[in-house]
Homo-oligomer: A and B are copies of this chain.
Amino acid sequence: MTTRLGVKTILTFGAGWIANSAYQVIHSKQSQTSGSIVIDGRIVKNRPALPIFGVVSAATPYDTNTGSDVATRVSQIMQHGFPSLDNIRSFDDYVLSYDRRNKVANWVFEHLTPDGVKHNEAVDRSKCDFKEDLSIHPYFRSTNEDYKYSGYDRGHLAAAGNHKAHQKHCEQTFLLSNMAPQVGRGFNRDSWNRLERHVRKLTKTYQNVYVCTGPMYLAQKESDGKSYVKYEVIGKNMVSVPTHFFKVVVAEDSNRNFIMESYVMPNAVISDDTPLTNFMVKPETIEKLSGLLFFDRVARDKLKSINGKKA
């Protein structure tokens, strides 16, 4: 199933990938390719998961200008492990897991490089439109209508500014499956953007920056002494408004030294002078609360630091 934006559901599998492979079949009553898998745009009928490529290492040179082999790019982006395997969508320059109950992604995964984030005259963000993700079953798909008059921004999870190698890469970040309802002023347009820029700037020091971003639905203690999760839902499709968002980052320098940073920010107005380090949270805490496991192919003892502290 390839939409006009080139959304592909692919099957990634390789000898060393067995513990972290994404196996994804289009599950849609409307699908005309029911019972088939789409690999890189070609429909493969009734075939089990066969290895289609091996493991790539971070040292493998990757030319972001070819853009043709989504499978190879996905293996690059996801080489340090999938946080979960639920409803995976593989786009040209990022990977997404969709939460059909909440109508928002579980997580998106990006691989930032100096080339992918630098200014590119050929890419014009203002020409990108927010579009429904037709690869999501209509029962579970969010629409522009859902966000209208809700008071929330359509906030990018995979930031548009991280995908400047091609116009198509930028466009794919405008799919509504990559959006979550975010407080606009004071959050999406301000402190969350500040965090996105910080992550982008890591590419000045580190040649490979891997980022996992997603929503959280966190509990609070109420006056009765009990803890409750509470969040708004917007629109006809009842799109969930996350209470918080996380970002977990692994950056790798040219000597294959890794550092990790992990943040949780409330989906609320945050003062511009609050240091980003205030939002650092142990990765294990985010894992436990979100139900995800981050970078499980990177041994934690290989990390030089976690949130600035020697690991």
Contacts and interface: CB of A to CB of B under 8 A. Distances in A.
Interface of A: 13, 15-16, 18-21, 23, 25-27, 29, 34-37, 45-51, 84-87, 99-102, 137, 139-140, 217, 219, 226-234, 238, 240, 284, 287-293, 296
A48 B16 CA distance: 10
29 contacts: A15-B46, A18-B25, A18-B47, A18-B48, A19-B25, A19-B27, A19-B34, A19-B36, A20-B25, A20-B27, A23-B49, A27-B293, A27-B296, A29-B293, A48-B50, A84-B87, A85-B85, A85-B86, A86-B86, A101-B289, A101-B291, A219-B233, A226-B232, A227-B233, A228-B230, A229-B229, A229-B231, A229-B233, A230-B230
A301 to B, nearest CB: 12
A12 to B, nearest CB: 11
Contacts of A48: 13, 18, 48-51
A231 to B, nearest CB: 6
A238 B217 CA distance: 12
Nearest to A22: B23
**How many copies of this kind of chain does the complex include?**
2
Contacts of A291: 99-102, 140
Given A19-B34, A100-B84, A227 B217 contact: no
A79 to B, nearest CB: 15
Contacts of A13: 48-49
Nearest to A285: B139
A49 B40 CA distance: 19
A177 to B, nearest CB: 13
A18 to B, nearest CB: 5
A226 B150 CA distance: 9
Nearest to A290: B101
Contacts of A296: 27, 29
- The 6 A-B pairs of least Cβ separation, nearest first, read A100-B291, A101-B291, A23-B23, A86-B86, A49-B49, A230-B230
A240 B232 contact: no
Contacts of A284: 139
A304 to B, nearest CB: 20
A196 B217 CA distance: 31
A229 B219 CA distance: 12
Residue from A25, A48, A50, A227 having most chain B Cβ neighbours under 10 A: A48
A19 B29 CA distance: 11
A229 to B, nearest CB: 6
A233 to B, nearest CB: 5
Contacts of A288: 139-140
A167 B13 CA distance: 39
A293 B229 CA distance: 25
Contacts of A86: 84-87
Most chain B C-beta atoms within 10 Å of own C-beta, residue among A13, A29, A46, A240: A46
